[in-house]
Amino acid sequence: MPIAVAIVEDNKDLRVGTEYVLKSSPAFEVVGAFENAEDLIYRFDDIKPEVVLMDIELPGISGIEATSILKKEHQHLQIVILSVFEDDENVFQAICAGACGYISKPVMPNQIAEVVEQAFSGASPMSPHIARKVLEMFKQHLPPPRADYNLTAREVEVLDMLIQGYDNKMIAEKMFLSAYTIRAHIRNIYEKLHVHSKSQAVAKALKERLVNKK
């Protein structure tokens, strides 16, 4: 079965050219070519595209807003942005809205078919410099490293032994420290981890891999 493709492009020459390229191959069926996103949204259930080639700057709602609207209703729809805009803000918003790919204009005719096939197969077609932008942006938006609670090396050692099931006396013997010192370390561990018992400390250490981080 040919891939059902819809095109949203307000530039008539680009829209007609893209449609011509896709129609020239039996691998694709152009189910709609629109100059604005509203018409695609209105007719979506009638034409049921599998891949949408979407411009950003459109009369009416933008391609990014249209992408967000369509993806909320049709999660399996693949939308590729084709745009002259290459700034971080547009790229980031488009990806967050649900676009699976982002290609800089102008798009070569032989590239259009490849972009559609990649999107349909589950890949993320992107111009190389856009892909680099996306990687950099996601690096910047990574969550901060998990807190280590400022445990000292000795406290981590005690915590590791608690995880292994040692009691205070056994820990003191293995570390050649007094029981009083071990109790002090354990009190500090509880305070830093915001827990109130050995079991809570062990559970938190295992969940957050606190010992393995040292």
Per-residue model confidence as pLDDT tens digits over 118-147: 999 988 899 888 888 777 777 666 555 556
Biggest CA pair distance of the chain: 84
pTM score of the predicted model: 0.65
| pLDDT, tens only, 164-184 | 888 889 999 999 999 899 999
Question: CB–CB of 214/153 below 8 Å?
Answer: yes
Summarize pLDDT for 59-90 with one digit per residue, the tens.
999 999 999 999 999 989 999 999 998 888 89
pLDDT of 214 reads 42
Task: Answer yes or no: is pLDDT of 207 > 80.
Answer: no
N- to C-terminal Cα distance for the chain? 55
pLDDT in tens, 21-36: 999 999 999 999 999 9
Tokens in use for 181? Answer: 């010192």
Distance CA(162)–CA(89), nearest Å, equals 48
pLDDT above 80: residue 151: yes
Indicate whether 12 pLDDT > 50: yes
If 0-12 CB within 10 Å is exposed, 13-18 middle and 19+ buried, where does residue 175 land?
Answer: middle
Mean pLDDT score across all residues of the chain: 89
Task: Report pLDDT for 149.
Answer: 83
